Amino acid sequence: AQSVAQPEDQVNVAEGNPLTVKCTYSVSGNPYLFWYVQYPNRGLQFLLKYITGDNLVKGSYGFEAEFNKSQTSFHLKKPSALVSDSALYFCAVREWNRDDKIIFGKGTRLHILP
């Protein structure tokens, strides 16, 4: 069965510092990986996705994520955090060529400290 783990409930980073939000996954086939961000009382906004190709994926708002097959990880990163990056971040996974259902991690709350 597919699963996604986000080991940190909350991550605190000082503004201007690099940030990392961790995600590991488990699928039986090839993964199709996503990161979404959610602001209070809002729906999910797409940040980036990995399908195939380069392991380093660049997305919206300066975010990027690195697919690591051997470690089954897809950590979200940004070189320099902004206060406006403070939000709830979800990692999600779907298997290729399976039904459209995707599985979300429990979310990691990111606090950027001014």
Partner 1 sequence: GAVVSQHPSWVICKSGTSVKIECRSLDFQATTMFWYRQFPKQSLMLMATSNEGSKATYEQGVEKDKFLINHASLTLSTLTVTSAHPEDSSFYICSASGSSRTYNEQFFGPGTRLTVL
Sign of the torsion formed by the C-alpha atoms of 13, 109, 96 and 62: negative
Is 54 a binding residue for partner 1 by CB under 8 A? The answer is: no
Which of 36, 63, 67, 89 touches partner 1 by CB under 8 A? Answer: 36
Whole-number Å distance between alpha carbons of 111 and 27: 30
Which positions from 2 to 31 touch partner 1 by CB under 8 A, shown as an x/- string? ------------------------------
107: which 2 tokens? 């979310």
Give the residue carrying structure tokens 């406006």.
84
Chain residues that interact with partner 1, rule: CB under 8 A:
34, 36, 41-46, 49, 51, 90, 97, 99-102, 104-107, 109
